[in-house]
């Protein structure tokens, strides 16, 4: 581990000399910006390129509902959120993890707090002030930003040396004359395949595949799913949240995975935090066989025995809908969903109705498109990079962030791993250019 403190304030006590090694970063998201911070402190010339007119666009959008930076749970539990990539990411997250994230924000003058769910937020819950302070600090330290600059590959001629090619907005019509940029080391932090309009369009895949880099296909992660609702449910309850339910699916080994939370009924299906938390297993099950049936517990705080006792009491002429509402609080969208997914015969047989309340089958047809997902899975495979995230096929070229093949649920895990991989790749780049 290098003796580089990414949390201290940077002062313009020097400007990188013209003789300093030159590194370029492609992508102005969290991974690219964190790498720029580490690299500029090492005295390198740092040039950051982004295809959009400004950096950090996905960072800003992700913070619209409250800037969830990281999570406060113990690191051992935190690491498990990365599924089969936990062991691979562990050294990077131990070097720059949740505690370092909070220290980094504090270094920008942004205090954080832990919410009731364990998630960590800035005090003002906003992303924009944090991003402005960060970019200002990077510029002040000497990072050079180049916007509206789309990376289109490399000059592969023998005489070119290390030359990256960029198409700038003002010369986009003249693709036969791209801009050549030389470098001593290069970082690709181009994001995954979700939210293309913000820059993560996945177009880098074809360039890297042509160079022989192994890439796992990009898939939607933390995404919604399509359900074939009846017109009644769609027209009456689209947009309605379903709170305090348990969703059960199965993992890759066929073991049940149940989680409690809330989600939203949409016109096309379901989405929301509980759906995102289980999206990996649902998505992978859909690959094997579609459609997939998951199960909802509409009364997770009541046992089947208790429900049976309540429904066994004389109804005194009340309809079953009135009994469900008055005795169990099953009404509105919850009651509509029960009607939607349980057979009509169940409402005449209390024991059968109990079984559907506790394990209501919901048939999921397919994922929503990747561009609508919060994040994506897949990307540059673990075997395609070394322990410092340099591509085996392209010495001097490193990768970081969501374009690497890992995934995590929402809750601060995505940001933290993006920062951690950006930090790790920058340390690798420093070792590379100085060796």
DSSP assignment of 98-126 equals HHHHHHHHHHTT--EEE-TTSEEEETT--
Distance CA 426, CA 330 (A): 54
pLDDT of res. 62:
83
Rounded mean pLDDT, 369-388: 97
Give the number of other CB atoms < 10 A from CB of residue 134: 23
For 172, the 3-state DSSP assignment is coil
pLDDT at position 18, please?
A: 58
Q: Is 399 helix (H, G, I), strand (E, B) or coil?
A: strand
Residue 316 is predicted with a pLDDT of 78
Question: Would you place residue 173 in the very low, low, confident or very high pLDDT band (cuts 50, 70, 90)?
Answer: low
Q: Which segments within 27-143 are labelled E, that is strand?
A: 45-49, 70-71, 112-114, 119-122
Which pLDDT does position 12 carry in this prediction? 40
Mean of the pLDDT values across residues 280-285?
A: 97
Which stretch of DSSP H or E encloses residue 62? helix 57-62
Instruction: Kindly state the average pLDDT of the residues 136-143.
Output: 97
Percent of the chain with pLDDT over 70: 93
Short-list 186, 172, 135, CA closest to 26: 186
For residue 7, pLDDT beyond 50: no
Q: What is the mean pLDDT of residues 274-289?
A: 96
Work out the mean pLDDT of the chain and round it to a whole number.
92
Segment 323-329 shows an average pLDDT of: 92
pLDDT tens-place string over residues 76-134: 999 999 999 999 999 999 999 999 999 999 999 999 999 999 999 999 999 999 999 99
How large is the average pLDDT for residues 252-266? 95
Cβ proximity of 391 and 384 under 8 Å: yes
Q: What's the pLDDT score for residue 2?
A: 42
Q: What is the bridge-based pairing of β-strands 45-49 and 144-146?
A: parallel
pLDDT category of residue 159 using cuts at 50, 70 and 90: low
Reported pTM: 0.91
Contacting residues for 137 by C-beta, under 8 A, at least 6 apart: 9, 10, 37, 108
Domains in the chain: boundaries? 22-219+379-434, 225-367
The SS3 of residue 183 is: coil
- Match 């690191």 to its residue by tokens: 75
Is residue 341 predicted with pLDDT exceeding 50? yes
Query: How far does the chain reach from its first CA to its final CA, in angstroms?
Result: 15
Token pair of 323, please?
A: 């009994």
pLDDT at 65: 75
The answer to whether 37 and 12 have CB atoms below 8 angstroms apart is no
Q: Cα(356)–Cα(348) distance, rounded to whole angstroms?
A: 12
Using one digit for the tens of pLDDT, what is the confidence trace for 44-90?
999 999 999 999 998 998 877 789 999 999 999 999 999 999 999 99
Eight-state DSSP code of residue 392: S
Pick from 163, 98, 83, 6: nearest CA to 382: 83
- Contact of 36 with 49, CB cutoff 8 Å: no
> How far is it, in rounded angstroms, from Cα 41 to Cα 33?
13
pLDDT greater than 50 at residue 3: no
Give the Cα separation of 389 and 399 in Å (integer): 6
Could you tell me where the beta strands, DSSP code E, fall in 251-371?
256-265, 269-271, 292-297, 360-364, 366-367
The answer to whether the CB of 407 falls within 8 A of the CB of 375 is yes
- Kindly report the backbone phi and psi dihedral angles of residue 395, in degrees, each rounded to the nearest multiple of 5, phi listed first: -55, 135
**Alpha carbon distance 132, 129 (integer Å):** 5
Alpha helix (H) ranges present in 194-289?
Answer: 204-210, 231-237, 273-288
CATH topology of domain 22-219+379-434: FAD/NAD(P)-binding domain (3.50.50)
Q: What are phi and psi of 3, to 5 degrees?
A: -85, 55
Pairing relation of β-strands 397-399 and 185-188? parallel
How many H helices and E strands in the chain?
14, 20
Q: Is a pLDDT exceeding 50 seen at residue 38?
A: yes
- Residue 387 is predicted with a pLDDT of 97
Least confidently predicted of 15-24, 276-285, 339-348: 15-24
Q: Dmax of the chain from CA atoms?
A: 91
Residue that is written with structure tokens 């066989």 in the block: 289
């Amino acid at each position: 581990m290098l003796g580089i403190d990414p949390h201290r304030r940077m002062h313009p006590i020097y400007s990188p000399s013209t003789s300093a090694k030159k590194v370029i970063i492609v992508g102005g998201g969290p991974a690219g910006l964190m790498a720029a911070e580490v690299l500029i402190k090492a005295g390198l010339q740092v040039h950051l390129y982004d295809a959009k007119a400004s950096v950090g666009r996905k960072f800003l959008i992700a913070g619209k509902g409250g800037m969830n930076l990281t999570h406060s749970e113990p690191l051992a539990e935190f690491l498990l959120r990365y599924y089969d990539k936990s062991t691979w990411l562990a050294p990077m997250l131990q070097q720059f993890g949740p505690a370092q994230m909070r220290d980094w924000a504090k270094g920008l003058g942004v205090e954080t707090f832990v919410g009731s769910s364990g998630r960590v937020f800035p005090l003002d819950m906003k992303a924009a002030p944090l991003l402005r302070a960060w970019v200002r600090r990077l510029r002040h330290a000497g990072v050079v930003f180049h916007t509206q600059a789309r990376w289109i590959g490399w000059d592969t001629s023998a005489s070119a040396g290390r030359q990256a090619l960029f198409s700038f907005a003002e010369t986009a019509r003249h693709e036969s004359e791209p801009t050549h940029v030389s470098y001593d080391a290069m970082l690709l932090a181009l994001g995954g395949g979700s939210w293309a309009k913000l820059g993560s369009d996945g177009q880098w895949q074809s360039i890297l595949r042509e160079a022989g880099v192994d890439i796992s296909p990009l898939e939607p992660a933390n995404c919604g799913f399509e359900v074939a609702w009846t017109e009644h449910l769609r027209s009456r309850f689209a947009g309605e949240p379903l709170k305090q339910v348990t969703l059960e699916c199965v993992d890759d080994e066929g073991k049940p995975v149940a989680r409690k939370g809330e989600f939203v009924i949409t016109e096309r299906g379901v989405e929301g935090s509980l759906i995102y938390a289980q999206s990996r297993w649902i998505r992978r099950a859909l690959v094997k066989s579609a459609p997939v049936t998951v199960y909802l517990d509409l009364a997770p705080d009541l046992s089947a025995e208790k429900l049976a006792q309540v429904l066994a009491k004389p109804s005194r002429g009340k309809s079953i809908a009135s009994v469900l509402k008055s005795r169990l609080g099953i009404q509105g969208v919850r009651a509509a969903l029960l009607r939607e997914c349980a057979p009509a015969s169940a409402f005449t047989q209390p024991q059968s109705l109990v079984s559907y309340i506790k394990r209501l089958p919901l048939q999921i047809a397919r994922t929503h498109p990747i561009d609508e997902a919060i994040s994506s899975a897949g990307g540059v495979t673990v075997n395609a990079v070394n322990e410092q995230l340099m591509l085996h096929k392209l010495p001097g070229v490193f990768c970081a962030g969501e374009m690497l093949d890992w995934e995590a649920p929402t809750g601060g895990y995505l940001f933290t791993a993006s920062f951690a991989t950006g930090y790790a790749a920058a340390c690798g780049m420093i070792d590379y250019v100085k060796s």
